[in-house]
Amino acid sequence: MKTLPIVLTLSLLLACGKDAEDTAPATDGSDGSADGGGTDSGGADGGADGGADGGADGGADGGGGDVTEIHIDVEGYYPEGVAIDRATQTLFVGSVGTGAIYKASLADGSASELVGAWGTGGSVVGMKFVNGSLWACSSPADATTAPSQIVKINPASGEIEASFPLDLYTFCNDIVVSSAGDVYVTDSYSSLVYHMGPADSSLERWFDDSDYAPIPGSFGFNGLVLTPDESALLVGDTLSGAIVRIPISTDGSAGAASYDAIDTSVSYGGIDGMGWLGSTLYAVRDYQLVALADGATDGSWASTAVSVSVDSPTTFDVDANGDIWLVESQFSKYFDGDDTTNGIPPFRVVKVDL
**pLDDT tens by residue, 267-303:** 778 999 999 999 999 999 988 999 999 888 888 899 9
Q: How many other β-carbons are positioned within 10 Å of the β-carbon of residue 112?
A: 17
Average pLDDT score over the chain:
84
* pLDDT attached to residue 264: 81
Could you write out the DSSP letters of every residue in 63-84?
-TT---EEEE--TT--EEEEEE
**pLDDT tier, 101 (very low <50, low <70, confident <90, very high otherwise):** very high
**pLDDT tens by residue, 293-351:** 988 888 889 999 999 999 999 999 999 999 999 999 999 888 767 777 789 999 999 99
**pLDDT tier, 25 (very low <50, low <70, confident <90, very high otherwise):** low
**pLDDT tier, 2 (very low <50, low <70, confident <90, very high otherwise):** low
Tell me the three-class secondary structure of 279-316, residue by residue: CEEEEEECCCEEEEECCCCCCEEEEEECCCCCCCEEEE
Mean pLDDT (whole number) for 97-102: 96
* pLDDT attached to residue 294: 85
Checking if the pLDDT of 68 tops 60, the result is yes
Interatomic CA distance for residues 207 and 69, integer angstroms: 38
Checking if the pLDDT of 58 tops 80, the result is no
Mean pLDDT (whole number) for 24-33: 44
List the CATH code of the domain at 8-351: 2.120.10.30
**pLDDT tier, 66 (very low <50, low <70, confident <90, very high otherwise):** confident
* pLDDT attached to residue 100: 98
Question: Is the model more confident about 20 or about 160?
Answer: 160
Alpha helices in the chain (DSSP H): 8-16
* pLDDT attached to residue 107: 97
Q: Find the helix or strand (DSSP H, E) in which 327 lies.
A: strand 324-328
Checking if the pLDDT of 19 tops 90, the result is no
Mean pLDDT (whole number) for 89-101: 97
Checking if the pLDDT of 45 tops 90, the result is no
* pLDDT attached to residue 269: 81
* pLDDT attached to residue 10: 38
Interatomic CA distance for residues 278 and 308, integer angstroms: 20
Burial of 156 (0-12, 13-18, 19+ CB in 10 A): middle
Task: Give the rounded percent of residues in the chain with a pLDDT score beyond 70.
Answer: 81
Domain map (residue ranges) of the chain? 8-351
Distances from the Cα of 59 to the Cα of 23, 116, 290, 311, angstroms: 36, 18, 27, 19
* pLDDT attached to residue 257: 97
Checking if the pLDDT of 104 tops 70, the result is yes
* pLDDT attached to residue 336: 67
Interatomic CA distance for residues 269 and 16, integer angstroms: 6
Interatomic CA distance for residues 211 and 143, integer angstroms: 23
pTM for this model (two decimals): 0.85
Checking if the pLDDT of 150 tops 90, the result is yes
Mean pLDDT (whole number) for 135-141: 95
When mean pLDDT is compared across 29-33, 224-228, 272-276, the lowest value belongs to 29-33
Chain centre distance of CA 36: 23
Greatest Cα pair distance, the chain, in angstroms, is 53
